[in-house]
Amino acid sequence: MRVADITEFYDLHCHFLPGMDDGCQTPEETLKLLEEQYRQGCRGVAATPHYYARESIQSFLDRRE
Q: List pLDDT tens digits, range 3-60.
A: 778 789 999 999 999 988 888 999 999 999 999 999 999 999 999 988 888 989 998 8
49, part of any domain: yes
Domain assignment of residue 50, yes or no: yes
CB 10 within 8 A of CB 45: yes
Asked if 20 and 50 touch (Cβ cutoff 8 Å), the reply is: yes
Amino acid identity at 39: R
Give the domain range for residue 28.
9-63
In this structure, is residue 55 part of a structural domain? Answer: yes
Per-residue pLDDT band for 63 (boundaries 50, 70, 90) equals confident
Is pTM beyond 0.85? Reply is: no
Nearest CA among 14, 10, 17 for reference residue 38: 10
The count of structural domains within the chain is 1
Is the Cβ–Cβ distance between 7 and 1 less than 8 Å? no
**Which pLDDT belongs to residue 44?**
96
